[in-house]
A and B are shown apart, each in its own frame.
Chain A
Amino acid sequence: AQSVSQHNHHVILSEAASLELGCNYSYGGTVNLFWYVQYPGQHLQLLLKYFSGDPLVKGIKGFEAEFIKSKFSFNLRKPSVQWSDTAEYFCAVNSGGYQKVTFGTGTKLQVIP
């Protein structure tokens, strides 16, 4: 069974600091990879996705993630965070089984103005 590990449960950053959230998954075959985000009071929404091709993918609001197959990783990055990035971030994996998605436990990001 596939699993997803997110390294940090709670991250606190000042505005303009750089962000990197770690994500590792355990599945040896072809995977689709995602980062979902939940802003306070809002529903879970897709931040960015990787299906194939260029392992560096760009999402909304300046976020990007890099797929490193050899490390089974899909880390999320942003060079300069804003207060509005305060949210919970979930890494997720789909191994092609229709829509079954395995989520990590989430990382709560708090950005201090």
Chain B
Amino acid sequence: DAGVTQSPTHLIKTRGQHVTLRCSPISGHKSVSWYQQVLGQGPQFIFQYYEKEERGRGNFPDRFSARQFPNYSSELNVNALLLGDSALYLCASSPTADRGRGGELFFGEGSRLTVL
């Protein structure tokens, strides 16, 4: 079975540009979350979507946005890139939005963004 797939795997942008990262969840998973991992830190929560609705948002500026499509895939968009946005962006899917089992995540390999 295919796991969570993310694209692109690596990309380089310059300050002020825009970036779109894509994620396909595991088949049957309806929840998709996005995390940012800066070198030397643990992943930081950005967004969670379930059934195409935003269910949670982390402490990130409005330059960060996301959406989920009818096939449950998702995009993360970042506008007006800053040097500090350089990080590994992780997508994770989950089969349920059950609060009792919240946090059980299946991660993709990530998209490594470098902002110059």
Which chain A residues have a beta carbon within 8 Å of chain B's beta carbons?
Answer: 4, 32, 34, 36, 43-46, 49, 51-52, 90, 92-106
Contacts and interface: CB of A to CB of B under 8 A. Distances in A.
B8 interface: no
- 10 tightest A-B CB contacts, nearest first: A94-B103, A103-B42, A44-B107, A94-B102, A96-B99, A99-B48, A32-B103, A101-B103, A99-B33, A100-B56
Interface residues of B, number: 32
Nearest to B108: A43
A46 B58 CA distance: 21
B43 A44 contact: yes
Interface string B78-116: 000000000000101010010111111111111000000
Given A36-B105, A43-B108, 17 more contacts: A32-B104, A43-B3, A43-B109, A44-B43, A52-B100, A94-B103, A96-B100, A97-B56, A98-B99, A99-B31, A99-B33, A99-B55, A99-B102, A100-B102, A104-B42, A105-B40, A106-B42
A96 B104 CA distance: 11
B72 interface: no
A43 B5 CA distance: 11
Nearest to A6: B42
Interface of B: 3-4, 31, 33, 35, 40-45, 48, 50, 55-56, 58, 90, 92, 94, 97, 99-110
Given A44-B43, A100-B56, A51 B100 contact: yes
Contacts of A99: 31, 33, 48, 50, 55-56, 92, 94, 97, 102-103, 105
A105 B41 CA distance: 5
Contacts of B43: 44, 90, 101, 103
A32 B96 CA distance: 14
Nearest to A88: B42
Nearest to B45: A100
Contact of A100 (B4, B42, B48, B106): B48
Nearest to B31: A99
Nearest to B104: A49
